Structure 1
């Protein structure tokens, strides 16, 4: 396990713990980067398959986009069982399994579906790698190489800082791998790493602005009968994570959707007391996202944009971060306001956010079960 300090072991305590955790993880970034780049460059890679469940699946979606766009190799993120049982994410034309790197993301290292899929991949001759906060966990007994997830302890059920630690890790992997294979120049890689360091150093402001956004919108958010979360591009994975966290802790009906698909049916069910959170990535769809932001309040006033992009008619419903992060770094920020809605909102309506009301554990190896996916 890592030696990173932790504070109050509640979900909300972990949310507040993120600035210190990210700064220390960035300072120790060589521990994250070097094992991965060594594994990635040990033989030519045509495809990277990222596997994870729950929060780790959401991270995998962002990782796949990073590697496709930045590194120039195909990144895919199937569900572990779909990968193992049906070959989803594999190309039958790739006859050389050594050209495929399968990466397991599991904070606890005990996710049943991820561990089983990684074992299947290794038995098929695919190269295997994992990132986990416990470098002695079950997944590490399966894979060839491992990197530590530098998150410290997160003993609560719902993951918050584990998500941001994972996003930082895959960002560092993607840029470092791109530099190693020549997809990006040394200067481009260095600029990206410096940008990450700047955001980690400024993460206290991200936390403060996210909590202030929740506090000023608390009445409407907590009285919503349904919450819609919309995303696109890189932040499709952020949408998935926000949807998971709100449903997991605030426990109201929560629906996530690709931005454009929200206008093809889901708006038929829109009601006045629904809240809609739009993750406004710096990508081609941003202006389209603002069209949704301007149209929906006539039918459901609680429509909010979460973004780093300034726009003219932003108001108190929106969160426009003063910390400006580009397309690939912004996912580190965008989950935080939804963490506050989930964790602080849950506490405000007297939900024990760490208690699972369903007393069955199907996701992890029970004898070794820890928090996390």
Structure 2
């Protein structure tokens, strides 16, 4: 729930416990879905503003895509400070502030920037909701509605199970809300939620295949002079989370970018010892991803695609999950290889991923 510098818990333990955490959360999904749908449908919503920092910002980017594409509502995900100080993510012409729903995501409920943004949202008359593990936190005190983040007590600094529990939560929110508003039929929403249950039931396979992918590609990944992480579409958020995890724990030079934008300049700096990890979303650009993978491999052999989508020419450098998920649910799987690269890679090069080498405490409320 909150970082404990004296914890004996490890990030790898938190990665391995994710099948259990997600199963428990799915079983208790009514606690996640019901208060959110009630808050959303209490009055007309013109815009949903997702707010979060760090890992929660990355979840917010996934959420905005889900709500734009599934619920068919205008959704944004500004950085909390940009929202609070400059109104980023808002429509200046919006006449009715009560039609704006600000959804904060904060595992601990202590993110200073997120709490400040919630306070500003209340001052402006927006409706507020928070997803958090701590119902007694500062963030919870600033929200009209509090939804439990069912991630258990994650005490390590880098978040892993909190991320996947949050991704599952926003996925469930989107489909249940779409059913409530008529954007999906009840049968369509039920099928999507049942798909999540099926994926959760097989999440142990995701864990095992992700760890095996790391183990067989360990030499090239750990000796990379730089790691480039590329994503697109809904997996822009996955790319952001992968970049954050590698920076937090493996602590090597890492760049995150959209797949196509990476072709506009950054490839000038590509070297043979660079690792390239491409999130292979099963969307309109998938064939383009494979073309780019093949081109990058001519210059940097440690180029990998992470996907559920079978494709010709996939080899041991890639991970093609045996568990198949649609594009809206696949982000739940795609972050796990990055978690192993970051946490197990850090351990393999003797980094204590629980230790913060630069203890600057500006991000969270203390005490």
TM-score range, shorter chain: over 0.9
SS in structure 2 at match of 1:366: coil
Q: Size of the alignment, in residue pairs? A: 362
Tell me the residue number matched to 2:347.
Answer: 347
**Which structure 2 residues correspond to residues 225-304 of structure 1 after superposition, within 5 A?**
225-304=225-304
Residues 279-330 of structure 1 deviation map (CA, whole Å, 9 limit, x = unaligned): 0001111111001111001111000000000001000000000000001000
Offset at 1:197? 0.1
Offset at 1:46? 1.0
Alpha-carbon distance between aligned partners in 1 of 2:123 and 2:93, rounded to the nearest angstrom: 19
SS in structure 1 at match of 2:50: strand
**Which structure 2 residues correspond to residues 89-238 of structure 1 after superposition, within 5 A?**
89-238=89-238
Alpha-carbon distance between aligned partners in 1 of 2:170 and 2:9, rounded to the nearest angstrom: 25
Where does structure 1 lack aligned partners over 5 or more consecutive residues?
2-6, 368-373
Tell me the residue number matched to 2:305.
Answer: 305
SS in structure 2 at match of 1:53: coil
Q: RMSD between aligned alpha carbons? A: 1.0
Offset at 1:8? 7.3
Alpha-carbon distance between aligned partners in 2 of 1:313 and 1:140, rounded to the nearest angstrom: 49
Residues 37-95 of structure 1 deviation map (CA, whole Å, 9 limit, x = unaligned): 00000001011000000000000000000000000101100000000111100001111
Alpha-carbon distance between aligned partners in 1 of 2:80 and 2:363, rounded to the nearest angstrom: 12
Alpha-carbon distance between aligned partners in 2 of 1:179 and 1:228, rounded to the nearest angstrom: 38
Tell me the residue number matched to 1:32.
Answer: 32
Alpha-carbon distance between aligned partners in 2 of 1:116 and 1:331, rounded to the nearest angstrom: 29
Alpha-carbon distance between aligned partners in 2 of 1:9 and 1:352, rounded to the nearest angstrom: 12
Runs (4+) of structure 1 exceeding 3 A deviation are none
Offset at 1:212? 0.2
Q: TM-score, normalised by structure 2?
A: 0.98
Where does structure 2 lack aligned partners over 5 or more consecutive residues?
2-6
1:61 and 2:52 matched: no
Tell me the residue number matched to 2:22.
Answer: 22
Change (3 A) 1:8 1:15: farther
Alpha-carbon distance between aligned partners in 2 of 1:133 and 1:160, rounded to the nearest angstrom: 14
Alpha-carbon distance between aligned partners in 1 of 2:131 and 2:253, rounded to the nearest angstrom: 32
Alpha-carbon distance between aligned partners in 2 of 1:45 and 1:178, rounded to the nearest angstrom: 13
SS in structure 1 at match of 2:9: coil
Alpha-carbon distance between aligned partners in 2 of 1:72 and 1:99, rounded to the nearest angstrom: 15
Change (3 A) 1:328 1:107: same
Q: TM-score, normalised by structure 1?
A: 0.96
Counterpart contact for 1:8–1:14, Cα < 8 Å: no
Alpha-carbon distance between aligned partners in 1 of 2:120 and 2:364, rounded to the nearest angstrom: 17
**Which structure 2 residues correspond to residues 332-371 of structure 1 after superposition, within 5 A?**
332-367=332-367
SS in structure 2 at match of 1:108: coil
Tell me the residue number matched to 1:322.
Answer: 322
Residues 207-254 of structure 1 deviation map (CA, whole Å, 9 limit, x = unaligned): 000000000000000000100000000000000000000011000000
Alpha-carbon distance between aligned partners in 2 of 1:302 and 1:99, rounded to the nearest angstrom: 48
